[in-house]
């Protein structure tokens, strides 16, 4: 697209991102999301790495 239209690929990607974000924001009120609830170990415990 850079060669065909003379604009950088980054500009095309940013335009696409802007479009997709606008679409999501337009429909945001219709999106149903349940609140995240951390488990007891996630919310206040120490962060230990799991050794598999």
pLDDT by residue (tens digit) across 32-47?
999 999 886 666 655 5
- Per-residue confidence (pLDDT) for residue 35, from 0 to 100: 92
How far does CA 16 lie from the centroid of its chain? 14
Nearest of 2, 24, 23, 4 to residue 13 by alpha carbon: 2
Tokens 């999106």 appear where? 31
Structure confidence by residue, pLDDT tens digits, 2-42: 889 899 999 999 999 999 999 999 999 998 999 999 886 66
Task: Categorize the per-residue pLDDT at 52 as very low, low, confident or very high, splitting at 50, 70 and 90.
Answer: low
Distance in angstroms (rounded) separating the CA atoms of residues 48 and 25: 37
pLDDT score recorded for residue 23:
96
Residues 19 and 13: their CA atoms lie apart, in Å, by 10
CA separation for the pair 49, 42 (Å, rounded) = 12
Predicted local distance difference test score (pLDDT) of residue 41: 67
């Amino acid at each position: 697209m850079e060669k065909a239209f003379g604009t950088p690929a980054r500009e095309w990607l940013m335009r696409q991102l802007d479009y997709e974000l606008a679409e999501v924001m337009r429909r945001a009120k219709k999106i149903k999301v349940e609140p995240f609830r951390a488990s007891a170990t996630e919310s206040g415990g120490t962060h230990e790495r799991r050794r598999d």
